[in-house]
Amino acid sequence: MLTAEIRRRFLAHFENAGHTAVPSAPLLFDDPNLLFVNAGMVPFKPYFLGQETPLWDRAVSVQKCVRTGDIEEVGKTTRHGTFFQMCGNFSFGDYFKAGAIEFAWTLITGSVDDGGFGFDPDKVWVTVLHSDDEARQLWKDIAGLPDERIQSRGLLDNYWQMGVPGPGGPASEIYIDRGPEFGPDGGPIVDEDRFLEIWNLVFMQEEITNVTAKDKFDVVGPLPQENIDTGMGLERVAYLLQGKTNMYEIDEVFPVIEKASEITGRKYGADPIDDVRFRVIADHVRSGLMLMGDGVTPGNEARGYVLRRLLRRAVRSMRLLGYEDPALPQLLPVSLDRMKASYPELEADFPRIEKIAYAEEDAFRQTLGKGTQIFESAASAIKNTGGSSLPGDQAFALHDTYGFPIDLTLEMAAEQGLTVDEDGFRALMTEQRARAKADAKSKKGAHADTSIYRSTLDAGGPTEWLAYSTLTTESRVLALLAEGVDVPAISAGTVGEVVLDRTPFYAESGGQSADAGHITWDGGRAEVLDVQRPVRGLVVHQVRVLEGELTRDQNVEAAVDPEWRLGARQAHSGTHVVHAALREVLGPTALQAGSYNRPGYLRLDYGWSGALSPDQLHGVEEASNRALRADLPVTAQTMSLQEARDFGALALFGETYGEDVRVVEIGGPWSRELCGGTHVDRSSQIGTVVITSDGSVGAGNRRIEALTGIEGFDYLARERDVVRQLTDILKAQPGEVPGRVQDLLERLKTAEKAVESAKAAQLLGAAGDIASAAKDVNGVAYVGHRAEGANGGDVRTLALDIRGRMPKDKPAVVVVIGTADDKPSTVVALNEAAQAKGLSANTFVGLVGEKLGGRGGGKADVAQGGGTDVSAIPAALAAVEGALGA
């Protein structure tokens, strides 16, 4: 049974049972505790925590998930994969244990002809919490399972909670017996390879607190309503139903292994080490495809770094299999072909995805070359000093800076006859992971902090939000908060939070900054600093009270600053216009990947590799302003999410949308996007669009910045003033300014070259005198010279010229240190007689680097390096002399 068919059957089974099918949330789900969605219940977390009211009593989903904590184990086990799909059914105060058990049992053991999975009931085992006698009895009553196939476990295995105060409850896990060839008998408590878990049913029934570990917490009492949260691993079910022994051989993954085997000439199944590499490739290519499909682009931080690591591990594994050519163009289309059945949007978006992926591989291939040079330099220095092991910090630097996994470094070291300090490397990796975990832990509990807002919402009801229709409202204060605590009043000079029964203020979302303005009342006034929606339905205003005292139940006037709102509308509509203009000039793959706008300013990130040419940038700006001149109508309408997709509206990466969405059009289909922001009525009201910059924000991702409205005109006026000043200085017409400036630059370059030539001649002229002043140190002619103001090129030229003037039959060591820009640069040059004596320039440049606070490298005859401490030059020269005399 194909994976897509298993997925379809799961959804159909629960839809037929009255569940609403909820589309998978993007992997970039907005959760402060997570880089990516890592479990099927994550999009439903606000409902389980009581922060929001569920939209349904019953729901079902197949959620895209990514976990990278065990990335080093990928390919080594049958289960570890970075991307997976979690099938789940959810009940919010509707059915409970009996319903969850019955739904699961009928699906897994139901006949294939009737839409089930067809597992043999005699192969099914379950576990329950040791104290959950109710679940044990239900399994006996509903499924007819005997006692020996219902095993009890403790809190560590069969209790679910989030690690923070909130809901929790016992869990019941479903296992399939794969047979004696996979391990000993005795059920999952004996062997979890033979008895493979496929489904976890969570019975959410208790409120817990004082959580210190998975099995250490206090139970406050029963929840107001009992909920069900389940998770069935789609890939696990697939490899069982497809008769495979691991997830890498299912229909959605194995074709990539087959392609990798074909182009590398290595056979899968012939070598255990190669098999791990094949599995890493297949897993990481699929994960990379799904991440890029949800808008992640490679980078050096957070989500972008995870994607970069996945793609580079895949490329590196192909290299270890002997394939040196670009690999992703061969592999990524194969993964697309398997995944598009479940995620058809990938095919439509593939031109953008492949552009990002292939650019990242090209960048890695170049980085690989640079990193290899660094490694070879380090290896040469180690061998020249008689060492045999690459230090752990250098292996870590290769990993952290150049993306070299440790096994690549180990392979390269072995080729050089070296070992690697793996313990030192892993200690540094552990420190890095500990810092990351500590950072993540510091963010935990963000969800629990919204309880005050949820209480406020329950007490006063949702805020009547009128930002689309008015700039002022007569309102009543429902609640006042200070430092997360409900307070009766906020006095002058104090910053606090205000909840009103109705408001005209736009709350920050969708890239648009919050409105500014004031709240006034009889005898008082407060400045609105920020506006947010901490929970669905509630608008919270952060204010600074300027006069008087603001109290609960106070009648107030809430007024948005009209100039601020006008500028915000111009900037947000301008963002849509620039997005449409980018697609018009560059093509449909130039899709927005993020945005931010405030009055008069917009910033738009978009998928594209390579800098825009001046003509392209001008074309985007011209297309934008042509749209303004055309005075296009700007309209908004609300429809279902599916209707919006059918309508051709663009959705933004990483955004989560509800059942109904708002579609904003500028000029009809020219710009049609899902958007909840405020906009002008016609495009001409934007005023102008002035692009001020375009730059890279990571491989395959760029950022364009622009000004709109009066801010755009002010920018152009300043530019005009600069041109006017230049025409006055140069005594030229505006059109002549570029030519005149170019001419001045050419003349300046010529003068600089003349100065450099004169300086070089002066340095070389002194070479003879410097050589003749060489010291005899232990039978070696030694020159240690400080060249004031000399840069790296001058230093190298001088050192080689001095060496050429030294006697050929006597060992000679020349050290020249330049001081250009107050930074020392070193060149060490040895003649053949010195090398024959066993001396090496590499050794001496290392001594100099230690003193100067830098490092260096090269060959036995010439080596060069740098540093940071000019004051240490005398000590550095003395160190070389001391080493010669030792």
Is 130 known to sit in a ligand binding site?
no
CA angle at residue 566 from 565 to 570, to 5 degrees?
A: 115
Strand ranges for 728-779 from DSSP E: 775-777
**Dist. CA 11–CA 15, nearest whole Å:** 6
**Residue pair 25/63 in contact by the 8 Å Cβ criterion:** yes
* Secondary structure element (H or E) that encloses residue 554, with its range: none
**Residue pair 832/842 in contact by the 8 Å Cβ criterion:** no
The pairing of strands 83-92 and 216-233 is antiparallel
**DSSP H stretches of helix in 56-174:** 97-109, 133-138, 155-158
The one-letter amino acid at 15:
E
The one-letter amino acid at 527:
E
**Dist. CA 176–CA 192, nearest whole Å:** 10
DSSP for 284-333? HHHHHHHHHHTT----SSHHHHHHHHHHHHHHHHHHHTT--S--HHHHHH
Compute φ and ψ for 323, nearest 5 degrees: -100, 115
* Secondary structure element (H or E) that encloses residue 827, with its range: strand 825-830
For 206, residues 6+ apart whose C-beta sits below 8 A from its C-beta are 167, 168, 169, 219, 220, 221, 222, 223
Is 13 known to sit in a ligand binding site?
no
Which residues, in sequence order, are bridge partners of residue 602?
597, 706
**DSSP H stretches of helix in 766-864:** 767-772, 792-805, 832-836, 841-852
Is 675 known to sit in a ligand binding site?
yes
**Dist. CA 590–CA 604, nearest whole Å:** 11
Q: Give pairs for 525-534: CB < 8 Å, separation 24+.
A: 526/490, 526/498, 526/550, 528/558, 529/495, 531/503, 531/505, 531/506, 531/507, 532/507, 532/508, 533/507, 533/509, 534/450, 534/453
SS (H, E, C) 112-142: HHHCCCCCCHHHEEEEEECCCHHHHHHHHHH
Greatest pairwise CA separation for the chain in angstroms: 102
Half-sphere exposure of 377 (CA within 13 A, CB side): 20
**Dist. CA 576–CA 671, nearest whole Å:** 7
Strand ranges for 449-599 from DSSP E: 464-465, 472-482, 485-486, 489-491, 495-500, 502-503, 517-521, 524-532, 540-547, 549-551, 555-560, 592-598
Length of the chain: 886
The pairing of strands 775-777 and 701-708 is unpaired
Q: Give the position of tokens 């006698």.
A: 133
Is 399 known to sit in a ligand binding site?
no
Q: Is 644 left (phi over 0), alpha (psi -120 to 50) or beta?
A: alpha
* 144: number of Cβ within 10 Å: 9
Q: Write out the binding residues for Zn(2+).
A: 572, 576, 675, 679
Indicate the annotated binding residues.
572, 576, 675, 679
